Chain A
Amino acid sequence: MTNTSPSIIVDSTPEAKAAFYAELQTYVGLEVGEPTPGPDEVNAPMIRHLVEAVGDRNPIYTNPELAADSIHGGIVAPPTMLQAWVMRGIDGPARGGNGPYEKMNQLLFSRGFTSVLGTNSEQSYKRYLRPGDHLTMRTVIDSISDEKTTGLGTGHFVSTRQDYFDADDQLVGSMLFRIFRFKPAAKVPPAKPQPRRPRPATTYDNQWWFDELGEGRLCAQACANCGRVRFPTGPMCPSCHSRSYDKVELPLSGTIHSFVVAHYPQVPGFDYPLPIVLVDMDPSTSHIGKLGNDRVRMIMNTADSAESALAVGARVRIEIRATDPDMKLPFAVIDPIGATS
């Protein structure tokens, strides 16, 4: 149901909202319309139709002899048929008029809560019903929630309670029926997934390096036995064949060894023209002496640098930046003053 009325009241202050909610609460506890009598008594044919339809073969619902021998002493109706005994049928009288329920709806509509979704119902039973029982239903507005926001939109949960009485006006069962009256959320086109850069293929031998980078540390691998530094990572020291290694954090500076500017093909996840530099990393100060001339060279993109600053021999400062929520990479910031091509 959608109300297309253009005159929607906007409660823009907390006070106005509170007043609206207080007005809503005046409907709680009010009875909705006149008591509704069931069109038929509880009867064996309707019971049989239902249990056949749902496949419930319990004989207490259909077999007079067996039911007579049960604790019920005769045929009873399945409790879940409670609501069925007062349903008005396709051509039954519509609930009309201008009762409390309709007035509550108009109040909700006035704030734009024009959409409705049935959310759930709960039944409770006082006793089994038997053929010959004749029920009457009374409906009360049970509760109205404060403003809630769901995936559908913002609105109020409205619960009505239907109480079912027998011919002696004794309560035999109740049903809580809950709907969500809401202002539909604006339709937003599904966000286009942000194109992602190619992910590294990670293996036992290189995963740790990318993990360290993800923590903001740019590392080389140093043999734990002989100290030889190697990069890219590998499973064994080519000098002494030790498989033990240390992670050596590198200083975030270096010199451009070579560079390119990619124009084509243009792959999602990158901006073109795309400068890519090969950087001779400055050696780790903590490993000086052990390192000798072990060279560490890395591929990276530039950041905050003009394409005209690209030069073999240019000094760079390296920053580790997130390219995606789950990936960090080193970027070279070219030092225009220190360029020594």
Chain B
Amino acid sequence: MSINRRGNQLGGRAAITGIGATEFSKDSGRSEMSLASEAVAAAIADAGLKPCDIDGMVTYSADNNPDVEIARHVGIGALRHFSRVHYGGGAACGTIVQAAMAVATGVADAVVCYRAFNERSGRRFGAGVQDIPIAATAERAQFSWTTPSGLLTPASWVAMVARRYMHLYGATSQDFGRVAVAGRKHAANNPAAWFYNEPITLEEHQASRWIVDPLHLLDCCQESDGGQALVVVSAERARDLPNTPALIVAGAQGAGDEQWTMTSFFRDDIAQLPEMKVVADELWTSSGLTPADIQTAILYDHFTPYVLMQLEEFGFCGRGEAKDYIADGALEIGGRLPINTHGGQLGEAYIHGMNGIAEAVRQIRGTSVNQVDNVVNVLVSAGTGVPTSGLILGVDR
């Protein structure tokens, strides 16, 4: 394992050793804490640990599952580390980064990271910012420049960037559709996926109704109820636990220059994801790996255009070349870079990216329903258009 010790030194220190999830649905019929408790308990059990072995917890902000609540309900007991990561889905890999930093430094021994919500039957993030007037906090005031004109929803914010990207590089709606087709193909083979046995064709993608032109309905991920948790311990400890460790080869968080929360419309070039470039540079530099070392990737897919742009930021192809890179089923199982083998958030469930990290762990363990051959390293990204995060998980050897 080649680790760059001069900069980001997180790689190789920690591993994900337990994963646990609830069912993924559109209406869980129970509390978000019920979902969180079940997912956390399942992940701890999967790790071969007892609740009292856990001494750290990390989740997202804007969450209804306070760490100490879940610790009580699951019987975890005392905590030595707790933190919450901001920016919605951009937090996903960041929770693992926070946990890895804690176990790498001895701040905690075993940290459970979790995200659980009734995002479909309760508060729907896809509804965006519709309240009148929006609260006068600095964070909400970011949207003052867009909401009075009806640019209210995540889909609309992404669509504005997607249009510019199409204009600059000639990408088409069909190119975006190929991402959805790949996700639904993988979900169709995944019994845990909401769209199990429901693949789509590119024609169906093209025929789906407009949400915000240029985004069709099938460019937008699902809204889901459910929970996902993961347990992080030190690499050494992971070797003594029952599961094949998913080594955290690299982990990083990133915000870009001129960063806004999904409305970074004031940059020179809006058809890029510089926050993901920060993450990509960190991951590649700290691990010494390159895109050629990645066998499969979990690329955050709340909206399809950003999958193309992520491929460019991570260097799988040049700027504007993603439409060519993904042609001929490249993103599907058997292709040159199968992505989102669980079905992604388009196909499995929208758990703010946490379920994608679990799929990366399964690829390392060799237990995915859409297992890629000879997996050594899996790239995972978190929410796009927001301050974000990423991971490279690898086989420990």
**CB closest residue in chain B, given A311:** B167
Which residues of A (282-341) have their CB < 8 Å from a CB of B?
A: 295, 297-301, 312, 323, 327, 329
A259 touches B163 (CB 8 A): yes
Select the stretch in B71-79, B149-157, B186-194 that faces chain A. B149-157
**CB closest residue in chain A, given B260:** A232
CB B130 to nearest CB in A, in angstroms, measures 5
CB A205 to nearest CB in B, in angstroms, measures 7
**What residues of chain A lie closer than 8 Å to B135, measured between beta carbons?**
201
CB B181 to nearest CB in A, in angstroms, measures 22
Q: Chain B CB within 10 Å — which of A264, A299, A327 has the most? A: A299
Cα separation A120 to B156 with both chains bound (whole Å):
61
**What residues of chain A lie closer than 8 Å to B210, measured between beta carbons?**
261, 263-264, 273
A198 touches B148 (CB 8 A): yes
Across chains A and B, the number of contacting residue pairs, with CB separation under 8 Å, is 129
Which residues of B (118-161) have their CB < 8 Å from a CB of A?
A: 127, 129-138, 140-141, 143-153, 156, 159-161
A203 touches B138 (CB 8 A): yes
**Interface flag for A202 (CB, 8 Å):** yes
**Interface flag for B270 (CB, 8 Å):** yes
**CB closest residue in chain A, given B217:** A264
CB B223 to nearest CB in A, in angstroms, measures 12
**Interface flag for A267 (CB, 8 Å):** yes
Cα separation A257 to B268 with both chains bound (whole Å):
11
B136 touches A202 (CB 8 A): yes
B211 touches A263 (CB 8 A): yes
What is the size category of the interface that chain A forms with chain B?
35 or more
Given A206, A231, A264, which contacts B141 in the complex, CB threshold below 8 Å? A206
**Interface flag for A107 (CB, 8 Å):** no
| Contact of A323 with B211 at beta-carbon distance under 8 Å, contacts A198-B134, A199-B132, A202-B136 already known | no
CB B167 to nearest CB in A, in angstroms, measures 4
**Interface flag for A236 (CB, 8 Å):** no
Cα separation A80 to B213 with both chains bound (whole Å):
76
**Interface flag for A262 (CB, 8 Å):** yes
A301 touches B150 (CB 8 A): yes
A260 touches B148 (CB 8 A): no
Given A232, A273, A300, which contacts B149 in the complex, CB threshold below 8 Å? A300
**CB closest residue in chain B, given A235:** B138
Which residues of A (188-216) have their CB < 8 Å from a CB of B?
A: 196-203, 205-206, 210
| Contact of A258 with B270 at beta-carbon distance under 8 Å, contacts A203-B136, A264-B210, A276-B160 already known | yes
Cα separation A109 to B209 with both chains bound (whole Å):
62
B160 touches A200 (CB 8 A): no
Given A197, A278, A300, which contacts B160 in the complex, CB threshold below 8 Å? A278
**What residues of chain A lie closer than 8 Å to B153, measured between beta carbons?**
262, 265
A260 touches B129 (CB 8 A): no
B140 touches A201 (CB 8 A): yes
**Interface flag for B107 (CB, 8 Å):** no
Given A199, A200, A262, which contacts B156 in the complex, CB threshold below 8 Å? A262
Given B147, B159, B164, which contacts A198 in the complex, CB threshold below 8 Å? B147
Given B145, B150, B167, which contacts A258 in the complex, CB threshold below 8 Å? B167
| Contact of A206 with B152 at beta-carbon distance under 8 Å, contacts A196-B132, A201-B134, A264-B209 already known | no
B167 touches A198 (CB 8 A): no
**Interface flag for B3 (CB, 8 Å):** no
A200 touches B148 (CB 8 A): yes
**Interface flag for B87 (CB, 8 Å):** no
Cα separation A85 to B14 with both chains bound (whole Å):
99
The contact string, 1 if C-beta is below 8 Å from chain B, for chain A 235-276, is 000000000000000000000011111111101011001101
**What residues of chain B lie closer than 8 Å to A327, measured between beta carbons?**
148
CB B135 to nearest CB in A, in angstroms, measures 6
Given B144, B156, B163, which contacts A201 in the complex, CB threshold below 8 Å? B144
**What residues of chain A lie closer than 8 Å to B163, measured between beta carbons?**
258-260, 312
**Interface flag for B212 (CB, 8 Å):** yes
A197 touches B148 (CB 8 A): yes
CB A218 to nearest CB in B, in angstroms, measures 13
Cα separation A289 to B12 with both chains bound (whole Å):
53
CB A172 to nearest CB in B, in angstroms, measures 63
Residues of A within 8 A of B (CB): 196-203, 205-206, 210, 231-232, 257-265, 267, 269-270, 273-274, 276, 278, 295, 297-301, 312, 323, 327, 329
Residues of B within 8 A of A (CB): 127, 129-138, 140-141, 143-153, 156, 159-161, 163-164, 167, 209-214, 265-266, 268, 270
Known contacts A263-B212, A299-B265; can you find 19 more A-B pairs with CB under 8 A? A196-B132, A197-B147, A197-B148, A200-B141, A201-B133, A202-B144, A203-B136, A232-B145, A257-B164, A258-B265, A260-B160, A261-B213, A262-B151, A262-B213, A269-B132, A269-B150, A276-B160, A298-B145, A299-B145
15 A-B residue pairings within 8 Å (CB atoms): A201-B133, A202-B141, A203-B137, A206-B141, A258-B270, A260-B160, A262-B156, A262-B212, A270-B150, A273-B210, A276-B156, A278-B270, A301-B150, A312-B163, A323-B148
